[in-house]
Amino acid sequence: MNQETGIAILAPGLLGGSLALAARKRFPLTPIRVWARRAEAVEEVRQRIPSAIGCESIAECMQGVSLAILCMPVQHMPAAAQQIAAAAVRPDLLVTDVGSVKGSVVAALEPILFAKGITFIGSHPMAGSHTTGMANARADLFQHAACLLTPDEKSPPAALERLRAFWASLGCRVLEMSPAQHDHHVARISHLPHVMAALTTLAALKNDTSPIPCAAGGFRDTTRVAAGDPSMWTGILHDNRHEVLAALQDASSHLRELIEIIENDDLTRLQSLLAEAKQLRDLVPPPTAA
């Protein structure tokens, strides 16, 4: 990414705002344009990143850029893609996104953009937080995070290499897979944990909030992601519902097994189940592993 190219970031929430900060730090001479739906959000970008160009229309944001990144909730991406397709853009424009679902996003966006000669390749940086908004954005959010790219047979090799290099330059470990593989994997390691955190919170507190003063690290760590944006997660779980349902069915099977073990006070099976879970969890590397 050289100083002659420009980067457009559409929707400066936590991920979009962090992208703007990270790109500004990594590419100090590259024009960075940021679009937000609300004028006050555009002004917040200008205050936080004075060198960024705040835009109040998507067409304005596309002026002169060679990379555009969609950072809004997945359900709003097709409308944004329509506006990009209608704008005057560079012939080498590459569009990507940061959405948590890829099958539906690629199916919706690729035809819109491809019809106008614009390349789209899906991205999903596995970074983020239960917090939201530009106020919580930070330039190091992507350090050591996995970024999942979902090219297909229409993806030009040169564009894919540009996208690999961009995410790697922000500190990401870049992995590649099909949209279907992405949705399967992420249902297991992102969407299922979010749902289980929500269910744990409901089971623990819905009928009786009096235990809250006793909450310590275990409860906070286990339920942290349940504090995420309900509107955003509704869209994610809807779009990936088939893979999420399969993961939930597996979770339900394990829960039924655990209930049976505890009902029968079977300490041998209980220890075996917990040991198997620990063994699998120990395979997960720490977050700062390269």
Q: How far is CA 54 from CA 34, 42, 58, 132, 142, in A?
A: 5, 5, 11, 19, 22
User: Does a structural domain hold residue 106?
Assistant: yes
Asked which of 119, 146, 177 is the last residue of a domain, the reply is 177
Asked whether residue 186 falls in the same domain as residue 202, the answer is yes
Asked whether residue 119 falls in the same domain as residue 38, the answer is yes
The number of distinct structural domains making up the chain is 2
Kindly provide the b/e burial profile for residues 8-20, where b requires at least 16 CB atoms within 10 angstroms of the residue's own CB. bbbbbbbbbbbbb
Per-residue pLDDT tens for 35-94? 998 888 888 888 888 899 999 899 999 999 999 999 999 999 999 999 999 999 999 999
Question: Are the CB atoms for 132 and 9 separated by under 8 Å?
Answer: no
User: For position 40, what pLDDT does the model report?
Assistant: 82
User: pTM score, two decimals?
Assistant: 0.91
Average pLDDT, the chain: 93
Tell whether the model's pLDDT for residue 1 goes beyond 50: no
Nearby residues of 251 by Cβ (< 8 Å), 6 or more positions away: 192, 196
Asked which of 177, 198, 218 is the last residue of a domain, the reply is 177
Residues 155-163: contacts with CB under 8 Å, at least 24 apart? 155/119, 155/121, 156/119, 159/94, 159/119, 159/121, 160/121, 162/1, 162/67, 162/94, 163/94, 163/96, 163/121, 163/123
Question: Are the CB atoms for 26 and 138 separated by under 8 Å?
Answer: no
Structural domain boundaries enclosing 107 = 7-177
Asked whether residue 171 falls in the same domain as residue 271, the answer is no
The residue ranges of DSSP E strands in the chain, in sequence order, are 7-10, 32-35, 53-55, 67-70, 94-97, 119-120, 122-125, 146-150, 173-176
Per-residue pLDDT tens for 157-194? 999 999 999 999 999 999 999 999 999 999 999 999 99
User: For position 5, what pLDDT does the model report?
Assistant: 81
Question: Are the CB atoms for 163 and 125 separated by under 8 Å?
Answer: no
Asked whether residue 160 falls in the same domain as residue 41, the answer is yes
Tell me the CATH number at 246. 1.10.3660.10
Per-residue pLDDT tens for 235-254? 999 999 999 999 999 999 99
Q: What does the alpha-carbon distance between residue 115 and residue 271 come to, in Å, rounded to a whole number?
A: 57
Q: What does the alpha-carbon distance between residue 57 and residue 224 come to, in Å, rounded to a whole number?
A: 35
Residue with tokens 């229409």: 154
pLDDT-above-90 percentage for the chain: 82
